[in-house]
Amino acid sequence: MVSNLRNTLEYLAGERDEAPEFLSGRFELVVRCAVWALAILLIYAFCGQSSKFIYIDF
Amino acid sequence: MTKRRLLLPVISVVTLLAVANALMGLWSHRLPYYRMLEKIRTAHDPNLLIVGNSLLTGLDEPALVRAANEGGESFNPINVATVASQPPEHKLLFNYAYKRQPSIRTLVVGIYDFQLTTLVKSRMTDLMGNRMIAVDHRFGFDEVVSSYGFGAGDQVELGVARTLPMVANRGNVWKYVELVRRSMAAMGMPRVATNNMGRVDDFKAIESASPETFDAEANAFLEQPDHFNPSYDSIFSTAARAKMNIVVVIMPMSPYHRAIFYSRPSWKGYIAALDQLADRRGIRVIDASGWLPAEGNFKDHLHMNSEALHEFSLRLGSELSHTFSR
């Protein structure tokens, strides 16, 4: 499982050319969508890190 | 095949963003600024409107009403003071309360430092959290633009924010990330003082950077002591036209803040000029800055703790009843 995760991350990062099995099988498109969706949500949540928060109860 | 490979992710992402926006729109109904507007909408015949920022949010309204009653005044207050808000938001809240609640007869504004007179220049990028009240569709687009003095670029951003809740309420998501970041940064470090609004040390940033800066702000008003800033000018003009009693309360400040800033000649000159301006406009000023003499009455240099807020509310109720019986 750890090697699968590693292979996936390496593939997504461009380090590896061969896609892991679940990324190249029947559900390839669905998985790609999920990866991009997750990336967008993470970027959205973390892109405010340059903000200076004083009050934190809003 | 290549087009299909592109199309499906694009459709998925657009769908995801549409769903996220819809969810964020629903979630925004639970945010403090939205609840404040609902509080104004659903209030039952208030006759006292209290406007201000975080210094007034914990006001003990029952204590104020009780003390005023003992002095012969009957108040049904609605407190729209909002954490981390600025004069333009106060103006929007006041305008909404004025339109929705014609029973309001008295306006109390709680201020500190130069809140009534300093020009607040805000861009859309400055608006976050409670300052996002401007995106609510209860306020007309032109009303918001004029309240903030937005230029063309900010007007476009405002239009986008009013259409997409994910843009408007992004700060409310970032807040949770910030809380996680703070808790991780605190691991293994000495405890820092916090209160319900944030880290105590952070609030130094909303005081003047130095006594010299404070003097400069006071002197800027003293050069042209004939008007409030546009937001409060509008609030007071509207309130006067509606024949409201208008009271400005200079809020209690910690001994630290008073020693560093309010003991300065510039502050005394500023207050004298502000009193004259208020008098010309029919506004009563209550200087409560020295009502609470102990540092222990405050959570930081500016905000009273709950016991002090209770004491302040009692005294304010009594003072208001005396003010109107004169």
Q: pLDDT (tens digit, 9 = 90+) per residue, B127-161?
A: 988 999 999 999 999 999 999 999 999 999 999 99
Q: Is residue A20 part of a domain?
A: yes
CA B228 to each of CA B43, B97, B115, B116: distance values in angstroms, whole numbers, following the listed order: 29, 21, 9, 6
Q: What is the pLDDT of residue B7?
A: 83
pLDDT of B324 higher than 80: no
Q: In A, which residues are within 8 Å of B203 by CB distance?
A: 54
Start-to-end C-alpha separation, chain B:
84
Range with the poorest average pLDDT among B2-6, B80-84, B278-282: B2-6
Q: Is residue A58 part of a domain?
A: no
Q: CB distance B175–A36 less than 8 Å? A: no
Q: How many domains are contained in chain A? A: 1
The verdict on B205 touching A (C-beta cutoff 8 Å) is yes
- Mean pLDDT to the nearest integer, B207-223: 95
- Distant-in-sequence, close-in-space partners of B177: CB < 8 Å, separation ≥ 6: A45, A46, A48, A49
- Distant-in-sequence, close-in-space partners of B147: CB < 8 Å, separation ≥ 6: B88, B91, B92, B134, B231
Q: In A, which residues are within 8 Å of B5 by CB distance?
A: 29, 32
Q: Minimal Cα distance from A48: which residue of B?
A: B174
Is ipTM strictly over 0.85?
A: no
Q: Cα angle vertex B235, ends B276, B245, to 5°? A: 65
pLDDT, greater one: B203 or B109: B109
Q: CB distance B197–A45 less than 8 Å? A: no
Strands of B245-250's sheet, edge to edge?
Answer: B77-79, B48-51, B106-111, B245-250, B283-287
Q: Is residue A34 part of a domain?
A: yes
* Percent of chain B whose pLDDT exceeds 70: 99
Question: Which of the residue ranges A20-29, B204-213, B250-259 has the most confident prediction, judged by mean pLDDT?
Answer: B250-259
Which A positions 24-53 lie with beta carbon below 8 A of chain B?
29, 32-33, 36-37, 40-41, 44-49, 51-53
Q: How far is A15 from chain B (nearest CA, A)?
A: 21
Of residues A33, A51, A55, nearest to B174 (C-beta): A51
Dihedral (CA of B122, B124, B128, B132) sign: positive
Q: Distance between CA B315 and CA B63 in Å, rounded?
A: 9
Q: CB distance A48–B16 less than 8 Å? A: no
- Mean pLDDT to the nearest integer, B259-287: 97
- Write out the two tokens for B214: 């404070």
Q: What is the pLDDT of residue B188?
A: 93
Q: Distance between CA B289 and CA B254 in Å, rounded?
A: 8
Report whether B313 contacts B61 (CB < 8 A). yes
pLDDT grade, residue B326 (50/70/90)?
Answer: low
Q: Distance between CA B102 and CA B167 in Å, rounded?
A: 34
The verdict on B314 touching A (C-beta cutoff 8 Å) is no
Q: What is the pLDDT of residue A26?
A: 75
Domain carrying residue A38: 2-48
Q: What is the pLDDT of residue A36?
A: 83
Question: Looking only at Cα atoms, what is the longest distance across chain A?
Answer: 49
- Summarize pLDDT for A1-54 with one digit per residue, the tens: 888 889 888 988 889 888 888 777 777 777 878 888 888 889 998 888 778 888
Q: Is residue A23 part of a domain?
A: yes
Q: How far is A52 from chain B (nearest CA, A)?
A: 10
Q: Is residue A28 part of a domain?
A: yes
Q: Is residue A57 part of a domain?
A: no
Q: What is the pLDDT of residue B325?
A: 67
Question: What DSSP letter does each residue of B51-82 carry, written as one string?
Answer: E-SGGGTT--HHHHHHHHHHTT----EEE---
Q: In B, which residues are within 8 Å of A27 by CB distance?
A: none
* Percent of chain B whose pLDDT exceeds 90: 83
Q: CB distance A36–B196 less than 8 Å? A: no
- Mean pLDDT to the nearest integer, B47-70: 96
Range with the poorest average pLDDT among B1-5, B165-169, B291-295: B1-5
- Write out the two tokens for B43: 């209030």
Q: What is the mean pLDDT of chain B?
A: 93
Q: CB distance A36–B130 less than 8 Å? A: no
pLDDT of B230 higher than 80: yes
Q: Is residue A56 part of a domain?
A: no
Q: CB distance A53–B178 less than 8 Å? A: yes
Q: What is the pLDDT of residue B108?
A: 98
pLDDT grade, residue B1 (50/70/90)?
Answer: low
- Mean pLDDT to the nearest integer, B116-127: 92
Q: Minimal Cα distance from A47: which residue of B?
A: B174
pLDDT of B261 higher than 90: yes
Q: CB distance B129–A55 less than 8 Å? A: yes
Chain position carrying tokens 């380090």: A15
| Dihedral angle computed from the Cα positions of residues B102, B106, B112 and B114, in that order, rounded to the nearest 10 degrees | 70
Q: Is residue A55 part of a domain?
A: no
- Mean pLDDT to the nearest integer, B281-310: 95
Report helix angle B87-100 to B230-241, nearest 10: 20
How many residues are listed for chain A in this entry? 58
Burial of B154 (0-12, 13-18, 19+ CB in 10 A): buried
